[in-house]
Amino acid sequence: MFTKKRILFSVIVLLAASLLLISCQPKSVETSSGTAAPAEVVKPIIWKSSGHGPATDPSQIFHDRCCEAITLASGGRLVVKPFVGGSIVPAYKEVDAINEGVLQMGYTCPMYNLDKWPAAGLISSRPAGLPGEALSSWFNYGGGADLMNKMMGSYNVMTFPGALSPLPEEVFFHSKVKIETLEDIKGLKARCMGDGGEILKRMGAATVIIPGGEVYEAMQRGTIDAFEYSTIATNWDMHFNEVAPYMYLSPSRAPSDPQVFFVNKEAFEALPADLQEIVQVQIAKWTQAQHEYLVYKSVAAIEEFKQAGVEIFKVSSEIEDALYQAADEFYAEKSAKESPIFGEIYNSMKTYGEAYAAMR
């Protein structure tokens, strides 16, 4: 009896194994000759994506999470491999790499592309620009994404509504020296990017361009006396309290700190519609998540900077007024001499900003 049961059990196991083996085989398709051939196994689509900052930068962290979320939501059909800024191409050259197909996606600041598009500085952490909420709604619903795509022209790069994370206002400056009057700006050796750097240069500062990952060391070496980088929360995570005893706050220089996801146009358009939707939905989710996270963390980071011994000041109205005046002159000149898209973007943002301010 025991032997019969063992034999019956063995037969059942063999039968189950055979059925499992059959089910795992590729399904056959009929060829033109009428013979059956195994169906081709579909390989996942592989994308490479890069952030623009060091691994500790929250923008890099949220970039990586977004890549992982796209891979997960697609069921592995689209695998987006995240890379830290500078590991695939030099820092701030992400958009060029996307255009060339070296990357299929990237998360970076528009102002890092002023060498190609002077108007890119408008949709960035620019002086007298739109605050975060206004910038995001302008980009998503007020035609901002379309204008950015128009600006990029024949480049094989695109963006879309939801791809911009406005982020809170930037720290005006971290500094080794006190900055109390307009005279203190003159001759100040400062890392300041984009249009803000050009405008502060007009105000007398000696501004330089330094990648974010090199700012800490530049302060240690004495290459610079002050710098801007990002939000209060981001800058706390970068341990800037260790190299700058003073922190100056004002929304005048950068009322928001926007970063944008860009994709290779051909690679995106080659995706099936459902994968395109997944890419856009996940990007919109994680850009908004980063903004909310950094608002929350910035509130807490103020106290952390204080406890670390950093002295925090509001930028004087003398410096703010001078910056607003210099910004107005700068953008009036640029609008007159640059290509029409510059004025188109500037006027669109200005009109929207005035309506936003009136509403509030």
| CATH number of the domain enclosing 148 | 3.40.190.170
DSSP-assigned letter for residue 308: T
Mean pLDDT of 270-284: 98
Our count of domains for the chain comes to: 1
Q: What is the pLDDT of residue 54?
A: 86
- Residue 78's identity, in one-letter code, is L
| Domain assignment of residue 279, yes or no | yes
Q: Which residues contact 8 (CB under 8 A, 6 or more apart)?
A: none
Percentages (nearest 5) of helix, strand, coil residues in the chain: 50, 15, 35
Region 349-356: mean pLDDT is 95
94 φψ region: left (φ > 0), alpha (ψ -120 to 50), beta (else): alpha
CA distance 280 to 283: 5
The verdict on pTM exceeding 0.85 is: no
Q: Is residue 243 part of a domain?
A: no
Give the burial class of 347: count Cβ atoms within 10 A of its Cβ; 0-12 exposed, 13-18 middle, 19 or more buried.
exposed
Residue appearing with tokens 């890392």: 191
Per-residue pLDDT tens for 11-55? 443 344 444 334 444 444 454 555 555 556 679 999 999 999 889
d(CA 82, CA 64): 5
Cβ–Cβ under 8 Å, residues 123 and 144: yes
Is the predicted pLDDT of residue 124 greater than 70, yes or no?
yes
Give the mean pLDDT of the chain. 89
Q: Which of 52-61, 70-79, 216-225, 334-343 has the lowest mean pLDDT?
A: 52-61
The mean pLDDT of 63-73, rounded to a whole number, is 98
Q: Examine the pLDDT at 107 and tell me if it is beyond 80.
A: yes
Find the Cα–Cα–Cα–Cα dihedral 138, 315, 309, 193, rounded to 10°.
Answer: 50
Cβ within 8 Å of residue 237, ≥6 positions away: 56, 57, 58
Separation CA 178–CA 170 (nearest Å)? 18
Q: Which residue's entry shows tokens 């640029």? A: 334
Residue 148's domain spans which residues? 45-109+130-167+258-296
Residue 151 has pLDDT above 90, yes or no: yes
Cα gap 330→128, rounded to integer Å: 11
Given this model, what pLDDT does residue 58 score? Answer: 87
